[in-house]
Amino acid sequence: MVKFKSFKGLKVLLPLIVAVIYFHQGTLMAEAPAKTNSKPDIAQLAPVTKDDRVLIMAPHPDDESLAAGGLIQRALKAGADVKILYLTNGEHNQLAFIVYAKRIVIKQKALIGMGRLRQSEAQAAMKLLGVPEENLIFLGYPDFGTLAIFLRYWGDLKPFRNMLTRVSNVPYQNALSPNAPYKGEAILWDIESVLRKYKPTKIFVTNSVDTNRDHKALYIFLRVALWDLKGQIPEPEVYPYLIHCYGWPKPRHYHPSLFTSVPKVLRRAQMVWLSHDLSPEEVEQKHKAILLYKSQCADSAFYLTAFARRNELFCSYPDIDAGNAKPMELSRDKPVFYGAEDGKLAISIYMRETGPRKKFYVHLAGYNPDVEFSKMPKIKINVDGDRFHVLDRGQFLTKVRLEVARGKNFVTIKVPLEILGDPQYVLTSAKVYNDIFSPDMNAWRVVKIK
């Protein structure tokens, strides 16, 4: 039992407790089954063969079952080799832990213990689906901290410190690199070592449009790792999958006879979708695997079991060739434009209206094959009306000159490629405050410069 020396501690946790009770009742976005549910009118995922080496990359234990529990079964039946890589142990899910443990879990030892519990749940779920324990790879990096690491914690900076566990290195001794610091180069090294050793032919990884920060981070870490290993390993096929998206999947709860449809908010997004159909037996086995994540199902079974349906979806954004980009009229359906010219990257962003207090930001992480990625700039541009601030890994840059132009419904920023490290590629994401939500803008996109 946690004792509070003052009302302040209880006051901080009270909204969390109320949210747990409300969420646990299943009233948050739970719905009755849809009247009609047809098979998505999209292309089918190419079958996995016995010659494939399949790598499922999961930010947290349970993501692999939610997104690809059916695919894992099908791949094993085909005789393919299957390995699962977990970026974190998921020790940050306070809502689930409070319901599961029936107490507030905030002590360091207990939180790390919950991470070990989620690892054991993954082992049980994968055993059910047929994946041997030796094919499970746990990296153990901080849940809810990996995107911050990508954006900031590289090189000489001190490692990221987990807010809850209060540790700065991998605390799990059975991780791939126990005691590794919470830094970008450590995560990148681990992912690259797995890719070098395993040489997967097909990789299934979270999508950069996913609203969860760790899900975004795993995708962009993978892209950098594959660039680093170009020419060293055969180029794999990469199939991103989606877990967290506003109001999706619907309806909630277990409906094994229904298909999973493309999320409404992403139907206009510039994405390529693929569907993988499952047999009734595969759906049932996937459902059983999800239920083995007892700590997560304690408060979210109505949400998690909604992924056990007649198909699984995979989706990807095409890379953007900024060097050959032609100017276009921006709109809600085409909210961002990238173009490279005269040594600058031009970024045009659509918004309903521009004004003196309009705020937005842009993340830009360049990749240059001749420069170690840990030494490349990780830029964030904050724009507030006519003012802007440029930061590199959290540190202000005072001598940077940007060109900013405004129209009625857009803002264009021209960024010298020099401050991005003269990159071949740029990983970028943007957000406009108090404006339209645009997945195409907020997702991390790959922009080819040259």
pLDDT tens-digit profile of 410-437? 899 999 999 999 999 999 999 988 777 7
| pLDDT at residue 409 in the model | 87
| pLDDT at residue 327 in the model | 83
Q: What is the pLDDT of residues 238-265, one digit of tens each?
A: 999 999 999 999 999 999 999 999 999 9
Identity of residue 322: A
Pick 184 or 355 by higher pLDDT: 184
Q: Specify the residue for token string 């139907």.
A: 267
Q: How confident is the model over 113-125, as a mean pLDDT?
A: 97
What's the rounded Cα separation, in Å, for the pair 157 and 342? 33
Q: Are 428 and 365 in contact (CB under 8 A)?
A: yes
What's the rounded Cα separation, in Å, for the pair 182 and 160? 5
State the pLDDT confidence band at 401, using cuts at 50, 70 and 90.
confident
SS3 41: coil
Start-to-end C-alpha separation, the chain: 58
| pLDDT at residue 128 in the model | 98
Handedness of CA 274, 280, 281, 285 (dihedral sign): positive
| pLDDT at residue 145 in the model | 98
Beta bridge partner(s), residue 229: none
Instruction: Report the percent of the chain where pLDDT is more than 90.
Output: 75
Least confident of 25-39, 280-294, 353-367: 25-39
Q: What is the pLDDT of residues 368-390, one digit of tens each?
A: 999 999 999 999 999 887 788 99
| pLDDT at residue 356 in the model | 63
What's the rounded Cα separation, in Å, for the pair 291 and 301? 8
Element (H, E) at 58: strand 53-58
| pLDDT at residue 355 in the model | 67
For residue 140, which of 187, 91, 88, 103 has the smallest C-alpha distance?
Answer: 88
Q: How confident is the model over 109-134, as a mean pLDDT?
A: 96
State the pLDDT confidence band at 332, using cuts at 50, 70 and 90.
confident
Whether the predicted pLDDT of 31 surpasses 90: no
Where along the chain do the CATH 2.60.40 domains lie? 320-448
> What architecture (CATH level 2) is domain 320-448?
Sandwich (2.60)
Least confident of 16-25, 320-329, 400-409, 412-421: 16-25
SS3 187: helix
Where along the chain do the CATH 3.40.50.10320 domains lie? 11-316
What's the rounded Cα separation, in Å, for the pair 25 and 299? 8
What's the rounded Cα separation, in Å, for the pair 59 and 90? 8
Q: How confident is the model over 7-27, as a mean pLDDT?
A: 42
Whether the predicted pLDDT of 8 surpasses 60: no
Beta bridge partner(s), residue 9: none
Tell me the pLDDT of the chain averaged across its residues.
Answer: 90
Q: How confident is the model over 30-36, as a mean pLDDT?
A: 47
| pLDDT at residue 36 in the model | 52
What's the rounded Cα separation, in Å, for the pair 89 and 100? 16
For residue 343, which of 420, 446, 450, 418 has the smallest C-alpha distance?
Answer: 418
Rounded to 5°, the CA angle 163-444-436 comes to: 95
Q: Give the CATH number of domain 11-316; options: 3.40.50.10320, 3.40.50.2300, 1.10.10.10, 3.10.620.30.
A: 3.40.50.10320
| pLDDT at residue 1 in the model | 38
| pLDDT at residue 7 in the model | 38
3-state secondary structure 268-281: CCCCEEEEEECCHH
| pLDDT at residue 56 in the model | 99
| pLDDT at residue 94 in the model | 80
Whether the predicted pLDDT of 12 surpasses 50: no
Q: What is the pLDDT of residues 66-113, one digit of tens each?
A: 999 999 999 999 999 999 999 999 998 888 888 888 888 778 998 999
